[in-house]
Amino acid sequence: MADAVVIPGRTFGPGAPLLMYAGDVAEQRGATVHRHSWSQQSPRPDRPEIEGWVHGEVTPVIDTVGGRPLLIGKSLGTNAAALAAEGSLPAVWLTPVLTLPWVVDGLSRATAPFLLVGGTADGFWDGDAARRLSPYVLEVAGADHGMYVPGPLTESIAVLSRVVVAVETFLDEIGWPG
């Protein structure tokens, strides 16, 4: 049986739509989904110690699950990129913080495939870096850090649908679960 670990953002918990639906994609493929919640308030997310804090929170979950789970992380959760690299774990990174050098370094050391999802109106997104790091990228024009786009709310809901399709396509292409 396959497992997936959902790693939240700072303000977008594991039940937020992006994470919920990405986890649901894994669940529909027969995976057991482990939705992590932070045990305490995180330190400042722009400081290098945030990576160690995230590792301290997420490593016990990965160890409990065992095997090679799929990681699904949003924003703050993408500080687990080095854990994915060290464990050769496939991952879906939603609105990764590509402005933090340690996140980019973790992604650059990955040996397992990963999907990067972000928007051009997100100050933490770097589309050029994303495309250098992975062949699996969904970049949404005008989307902010929550993957909201200007205009009627239905346009942002349509973006959520595009994210779900990108996750499904990515998992199909890498043959997950194997």
- Domains of the chain and any CATH numbers: 3-174 (3.40.50.1820)
Tens-level pLDDT at each residue, the chain (178 residues): 899 999 999 987 888 999 999 999 999 999 999 999 998 877 777 888 899 999 999 999 999 999 999 999 999 999 999 999 999 999 999 999 999 999 999 999 999 999 999 999 999 999 999 999 999 999 999 999 999 999 999 999 999 999 999 999 999 999 999 8
The pair phi, psi for residue 33, each rounded to 5°, is -100, 125
pLDDT score at 123: 97
In three-state secondary structure terms, 102 is helix
Query: Looking at residue 43, what is its pLDDT?
Result: 74
Instruction: Provide the greatest CA pair distance for the chain.
Output: 43
Single out the residue of 126, 125, 121, 123 nearest to residue 141, CA to CA.
121
CA dist 169 → 2, 45, 86, 106, 162 (Å): 17, 31, 25, 23, 10
Q: Helix, strand, or coil here: 148?
A: coil
**Residue 48 has what pLDDT?**
86
Region at 30 (left for phi over 0; alpha for psi -120 to 50; beta for the rest): left
pTM of the model: 0.96
